[in-house]
Structure 1
């Protein structure tokens, strides 16, 4: 929720109460909305919620491009082991480098065989809701030379780090 949404909720609350002949100030309504959100007061809510700024051009979430030498060498790692899916593949013509989009949940990665698309050895930080559950999921599967650990003391929160066959590091972190 944003501060704009919380302010709108306070306006609706005041209007609903006014229909029942109950009058409260806007600041009192803001305090009530903050309490409904589990926060101690409006100042705390305002600081924690932040203000959404409309972006007229519609900037979206970034999609990291990871360089891979051969997609066939990393296919089982991303598809079978990490449970990503192939959304689409592109080649300019047969025999040319492959470019692939793979999603899982809200995460999107592009894997490219093109020489100009990044350098093997990149690091991508991917948020997860439950690192312990992902850790258990990965450890139930077999992937050669891969038994990732769970670092409960990582700076960003519990983290699972895996390295793909092209040397790219994925850090799944429960923030």
Structure 2
């Protein structure tokens, strides 16, 4: 089955790692950074994959990824709030989709949004 992987524009590698790896808990699958060139890397969390790029022409900052069927969202939300990350304190809200579905949105330091839906 085909899959789709969002590409988010970043401007600061260290800030991106603080947000995505240290706070959100993504792991780095691989990265490409030839000498004197911008970073390009793939991250993963559960079954999600995300590419981050410092390359100017790859994409525009301010994109959004809509994540469905995220496992244990309520527990994940509690884990995030327990971490000392002062730049983002997301809320967890019931959706209008029914079936006890919850939603949480986080915004990275570059204006990109991740909207998590799950239970």
TM-score exceeds 0.5: yes
Report which of the two structures shows the higher radius of gyration computed on alpha carbons: 1
Residue 49 of structure 2 corresponds to which residue in structure 1? 108
Q: Give the aligned partner of residue 61 of structure 1.
A: 3
**CA drift at 1:171:** 0.6
1 CA distance for matches of 2:41 and 2:81? 26
Structure 1 stretches of 4+ with a deviation exceeding 2 A read 153-157
Q: Which structure shows the bigger proportion of residues in strand conformation?
A: 2
Of 77, 81, 87, the match for 1:139: 81
- Which has the higher mean CA deviation after the structures are superposed, 160-169 or 141-150? 141-150
Residue 118 (structure 2) aligns with: 174
Once the 2 structures are TM-superposed, how far is the Cα of residue 154 of structure 1 from its aligned partner?
5.0
Q: Number of residue pairs matched? A: 116
How far 1:155 moved relative to its partner? Answer: 4.5
Give the structure with the larger helix fraction.
1
Gaps spanning 5+ residues in structure 2: where? none
SS in structure 2 of the partner of residue 132 of structure 1: helix
Residue in 1 aligned with 2:21? 79
Report the TM-score, using the length of structure 2 for normalisation: 0.89
